[in-house]
Structure 1
């Protein structure tokens, strides 16, 4: 014969099971949400700073590429020209240059504002922007005596200046000399 157990321990156990709470308390939820918000904020601040740094670098790089492109274009044409037909004074930071090419055409560069223009007979096509200065210095056959007489120029020193945005004193200068091929 089986002996039956009293019902009260099972009833008490069932009652305790029903009153046990499952899940998180309000305090635990607040701590978890606070930690999650702190982590998301830290990551977003880090990403924003890195993105701003990348945008600054990209802007600086574009300005540098524009200046290098202007300098290379002018030097390539100077090396192929027959003679210099007009050159601005060496102190003019917004200079101009005219060259007679082997095919008889005259190419011209001119700096206006922050842009460098290029063209045949008149400088009317944009060559580069964000250029703060363009100077030309003509040198005689010895390569050391500066001259503004176009027929005496055998070497041209080209100086391109540009500034970097968001920096008060960040200015860059690129300089090179180019000898005329006809010399």
Structure 2
């Protein structure tokens, strides 16, 4: 009698290959979705951070310059969200800030240098020497409340505001 020969099957069956490919595609899809969500979150955070830094930079620059000035030459009305300010420095030069559109410009004699962008509002309120009484008379302004407002890029209704007070040096 001839012994029966058994065939050895090598390799994977079609069903095994389909199951392995399905698992691999599922894993790659899950990882790519997770990476995309994390990337979008990072981009949103970076945009928020850049706009916040621009607003802080505008506020810090204005406060430092106002603290060094001799007097206020011109200030916009308290309710004006597109404010402008002109101050006289100790060396006799004028410094001007102006909010136009979503940018704040700065410069001596004319505000033509970009100081900060994505700023939706710049409000300036002048106060007399008591620090409580509001005034728009430049000669009576001894303290200025500066409010810088910016919008968050991905949230159309979300805004943030930064405020500071700066006393005029001559006071």
TM-score range, shorter chain: over 0.9
Aligned match of 2:73:
85
**Greater helix share, 1 or 2?**
1
Match of 1:121 among 109, 115, 139: 109
Which of 120, 126, 131 aligns to 1:143? It is 131
Distance 2:169 2:73 in 1: 15
SS at match of 1:132: strand
CA distance in 1, matches of 2:156, 2:108: 36
Map Cα deviations across residues 100-135 of structure 1 (whole Å, 9 max, x no partner): 001110000000000000000110000000000001
- Tell me which residue corresponds to 2:50: 62
TM-score (normalizing by structure 2): 0.98
Q: Which runs of 4+ in 1 moved over 2 A?
A: none
SS at match of 2:139: helix
Unaligned runs of 5+ in 1: 1-5
Task: Describe the SS at the equivalent of 1:41.
Answer: helix
Pairing 1:106-117 to 2, within 5 Å after superposition: 106-117=94-105
**Residue correspondences, number:** 171
Distance 1:34 1:158 in 2: 60
| Correspondence for 1:20 | 8
CA RMSD of aligned residues (A): 0.9
Residue 140 of structure 2: aligned partner: 152
Consecutive unaligned residues in structure 2, runs of 5 or more:
none
Aligned to 1:105: 93
What's the offset of the Cα at 1:166? 1.7
Distance 2:47 2:93 in 1: 36
Give the deviation of 1:168 after TM superposition.
2.6
